[in-house]
Structure 1
Amino acid sequence: MLLASDVGLDLVKSKIKCLTEFLDIYLRIANVHTVDFYTKDVWNEFVAVPPETVISRLRCQQGGSTTEGIGVSVWDQSQKLRDVAAYMRVTQDHSLPNLGVCTLLDDLLQEVWGDKQKDMFLKTSTFMNTKKSHEVEVMSEVIACFAKYCNIKQDSMMVGLHTCGDLASNTLRIFITKPELKAVCSVGCCYHLLSEEFELSDDSKECCQGPWGFPMSQFLRGSVWRCGRNARMSACLPLERVTTGHGLPSESLFYRAVLQVIIKENFGNGKTYNRLQRTNSKHVGKVYSKSSSFVDYTRKSVEKLGMDGSKLSDSLIQGYYDRYMPRMKELEAFNLLKVALAPCIEGLILLDRLCYLKEQDNVAWSALVQLFDPLKSPRCYAVIGVKK
Structure 2
Amino acid sequence: MPLSADVGLDLVKSKIKYLTNFLDFYLKIANVHTVDFYTKDVWNELVAVPPEAVISGILYPQAESTREGKGGSVWDQSQKLNNVDAYMGITRDHSLPNLGICTPLDDLRQELWGDKQKEMFLKTSTFMNTKKSHEVEVMSEMVACFANYCNIQQDSMVVGLHTCGDLASSTLRIFITKPEIKAVCSVGCCYHLLSEEFELLDNKEVSSQGPWGFPMSQYMRSCAWHCGRNARMSACLPFERVTFGHVQLPLESLFYRAVLQVIIKEHFGNEETSNTVQRTKIKHVGKIYFKSSSFVDYIRKATEKLGMDSSKMSANLIQGYYDRYMPRMKELEAFNLLKVALAPCIEGLILLDRLCYLKEQQNVAWSALVQLFDPVKSPRCYAIIATGCQRMLAV
Q: Do they superpose with TM above 0.5?
A: yes
For 1:154-181, what per-residue CA distance to the aligned partner results, in whole angstroms no more than 9, with x for missing partners?
3500111100100000100000000100
Give the 3-state SS of the residue equivalent to 1:252 in structure 2: helix
Counterpart residue type for residue 322 of structure 1: D
Are positions 1:135 and 2:135 aligned together? yes
Q: Which residue of 2 aligns with 1:184?
A: 184
Counterpart residue type for residue 109 of structure 1: R
Counterpart residue type for residue 52 of structure 2: E
Offset of residue 277 of structure 1: 3.9
Q: Which residue of 2 aligns with 1:344?
A: 345
Alpha-carbon distance between aligned partners in 2 of 1:226 and 1:120, rounded to the nearest angstrom: 42
Q: Which residue of 1 aligns with 2:22?
A: 22
Distance 1:136 1:155, change over 3 A: closer
Distance 1:97 1:205, change over 3 A: farther
Counterpart residue type for residue 315 of structure 2: D
Give the 3-state SS of the residue equivalent to 1:369 in structure 2: strand
Counterpart residue type for residue 71 of structure 1: G
Counterpart residue type for residue 30 of structure 1: A
Task: Return the TM-score normalized by structure 2.
Answer: 0.94
Q: Which residue of 2 aligns with 1:126?
A: 126
Give the 3-state SS of the residue equivalent to 1:384 in structure 2: strand
Give the 3-state SS of the residue equivalent to 1:188 in structure 2: strand
Distance 1:297 1:104, change over 3 A: same
Alpha-carbon distance between aligned partners in 1 of 2:380 and 2:131, rounded to the nearest angstrom: 11
Q: After alignment, is 242-251 or 94-103 more displaced?
A: 242-251
8 Å Cα contact 1:30-1:341 kept in structure 2 = yes
Give the 3-state SS of the residue equivalent to 2:111 in structure 1: helix
Q: After alignment, is 346-355 or 61-70 more displaced?
A: 61-70
8 Å Cα contact 1:250-1:332 kept in structure 2 = yes
Counterpart residue type for residue 123 of structure 1: K
Offset of residue 4 of structure 1: 1.3
Aligned-residue CA RMSD (Å): 2.0
Are positions 1:362 and 2:327 aligned together? no
Offset of residue 61 of structure 1: 2.1
Distance 1:251 1:25, change over 3 A: same
Are positions 1:220 and 2:220 aligned together? yes
Give the 3-state SS of the residue equivalent to 1:281 in structure 2: helix
Q: Which residue of 2 aligns with 1:379?
A: 380
8 Å Cα contact 1:195-1:208 kept in structure 2 = no
8 Å Cα contact 2:241-2:376 kept in structure 1 = yes
Unpaired runs of at least 5, structure 2:
390-395
For 1:118-157, what per-residue CA distance to the aligned partner results, in whole angstroms no more than 9, with x for missing partners?
3331211111111111111111011111111111113500
8 Å Cα contact 1:268-1:274 kept in structure 2 = no
For 1:39-73, what per-residue CA distance to the aligned partner results, in whole angstroms no more than 9, with x for missing partners?
00000000011111111111122899932224321
Distance 1:145 1:204, change over 3 A: farther
Q: Describe how 1:225-264 pairs up with structure 2 within 5 A.
A: 225-243=225-243, 244-264=245-265
Q: Which residue of 2 aligns with 1:330?
A: 331
Q: Which residue of 2 aligns with 1:106?
A: 106
For 1:339-361, what per-residue CA distance to the aligned partner results, in whole angstroms no more than 9, with x for missing partners?
00000000000000000000100
Offset of residue 311 of structure 1: 1.5
8 Å Cα contact 2:198-2:207 kept in structure 1 = no
Alpha-carbon distance between aligned partners in 2 of 1:34 and 1:216, rounded to the nearest angstrom: 28
8 Å Cα contact 2:30-2:230 kept in structure 1 = yes
8 Å Cα contact 2:201-2:207 kept in structure 1 = no
Distance 1:294 1:348, change over 3 A: same
8 Å Cα contact 1:272-1:307 kept in structure 2 = no
Alpha-carbon distance between aligned partners in 1 of 2:41 and 2:258, rounded to the nearest angstrom: 11
8 Å Cα contact 1:168-1:187 kept in structure 2 = yes
Distance 1:94 1:361, change over 3 A: same
8 Å Cα contact 2:200-2:206 kept in structure 1 = no
8 Å Cα contact 1:234-1:342 kept in structure 2 = yes
Counterpart residue type for residue 320 of structure 2: G
8 Å Cα contact 2:265-2:271 kept in structure 1 = no
8 Å Cα contact 2:70-2:87 kept in structure 1 = no
Q: Which residue of 2 aligns with 1:80?
A: 80
Q: After alignment, is 203-212 or 140-149 more displaced?
A: 203-212
Distance 1:227 1:16, change over 3 A: same
Task: Return the TM-score normalized by structure 1.
Answer: 0.96
8 Å Cα contact 1:47-1:82 kept in structure 2 = yes
Give the 3-state SS of the residue equivalent to 1:309 in structure 2: coil
Are positions 1:56 and 2:56 aligned together? yes
Q: Which residue of 1 aligns with 2:199?
A: 199
Distance 1:197 1:7, change over 3 A: same
Alpha-carbon distance between aligned partners in 2 of 1:379 and 1:42, rounded to the nearest angstrom: 29
Q: Which residue of 1 aligns with 2:148?
A: 148
Unpaired runs of at least 5, structure 1:
none
Offset of residue 36 of structure 1: 0.7
Distance 1:28 1:275, change over 3 A: closer
Query: Which runs of structure 1 show a deviation greater than 6 angstroms over 4 or more consecutive aligned residues?
Result: 62-65, 201-204
Alpha-carbon distance between aligned partners in 2 of 1:224 and 1:64, rounded to the nearest angstrom: 40
Alpha-carbon distance between aligned partners in 2 of 1:330 and 1:232, rounded to the nearest angstrom: 22
